[in-house]
Amino acid sequence: MVVSPSSSASVLVVGAGIVGLSVAWQLAERGHAVTLVDPALEGNLPGGGSRAALGVLMAQVFHRSRGRSWRLRQQSHRLWSQWINTLESRGHRLPRRRGLLLLASTEQELQRQGGIAADRAGLGIKLHQLSTEALAALRPRLPGDPLGGLLSPDDGQLDPGPLLEALQSELRRAGVSCVAQKAVAVVRRRPWRVLLAGGSELEADWLVLALGTGTAALLESLGHGLPIEPVLGQALELELATVPGWNWPGVVVWRGINLLPRPDLTPGGRRLWLGATLEPGEQAGAAALTELRELGGDAPAWLRDAAVVRRWQGLRARPQGQPAPVLAEPEPGLLVTSGHHRNGVLLAPATAEWVCSRIGS
């Protein structure tokens, strides 16, 4: 349902990854005049870290239960249910999987999982601790030799590809103007002005920078610093040699690596997503990909024998010296939403709500 603000504003959103698309969609839903700027719009491809996203949603099983990160995750967790219902009611198909299983590889991790489960129980959030016997019954065999596991039934995964397509479709429906050019500089003036690589310029009452690592360069043109570093992520789609007979309760996380069954991708149900690497800089490394492929030596035989069907990569923005993500208003009318690192899909709704609250909804 479209909500009309008391007074609409013109807004430039620079960056068309999952966060930028989400921000633009929610602003348009509230009646604002939105222009989205990103050269990747030329081919209808998402930009930035969205190219590396697996869409894992880890909110309820997050290791902390207080502070800003926890609040943002819980807000997004609630909003995702609303967003999915809205988008699906408009005819979009959003494949998603419920359940996320954290495996404990050490006694310290096992004890930490027990603490998390006890803490969440006090908040009315039910998590399930799985014994080694319960884990041994899962097929195909889990990686390594886990000492236990913590299952969050309400976390899981949302397929980023169809989600991005749905958001882009909603922007077209709402009449959002999309400019497939690179923003090269910002001029401090109300209305704000953005200079484009082609020599033209755009202006609006509000400017939202959702460019990931590219945000820092635009802020520098205004004299603002944003310490942020690129972290490259590589991911794989694998096809198993035999039909696995999946009975995993959802996404499996082993030592920070996500193993995501995708039986929906082929009639035989033999596909799996694996990712993603954490590589400082912008260059993909063969060694890091091999480490991912072999799970650091913990890959079971069925995973080692799987064939690589597809490989993809993208850059995530990680803030330096401050928590992720960066949500800031360095000057009146200038909003920064960047540095989501590995949680762009998860935190997109809370980020969009923050922007809307600043501009007025």
Q: Dump pLDDT digits (tens) for 188-218.
A: 877 999 999 999 999 999 999 999 889 999 9
- Given a contact cutoff of 8 angstroms between Cβ atoms, the answer to whether 94 and 86 are in contact is no
Alpha helices, DSSP H, located in 132-252: 132-136, 160-174, 215-220
- Given a contact cutoff of 8 angstroms between Cβ atoms, the answer to whether 191 and 205 are in contact is yes
pLDDT of residue 5: 42
- The mean of the pLDDT values for the chain is 94
Q: Does 50 or 72 have the greater pLDDT score?
A: 72
Largest CA distance in the chain: 64
pLDDT of residue 190: 77
Tokens read off for 313: 């990569």
Residue 3 has pLDDT above 90, yes or no: no
pLDDT of residue 220: 93
Question: 203 - beta bridge partners?
Answer: 193
Q: Does 321 or 7 have the greater pLDDT score?
A: 321
DSSP one-letter code for 193: E
Strands (E), 172-325: 177-179, 183-187, 192-196, 201-204, 206-209, 228-239, 251-254, 257-261, 271-275, 279-280, 307-319
Start-to-end CA distance of the chain, whole Å, equals 13
Q: Dump pLDDT digits (tens) for 287-302.
A: 999 999 999 999 999 9
Q: What is the pTM of this model?
A: 0.95
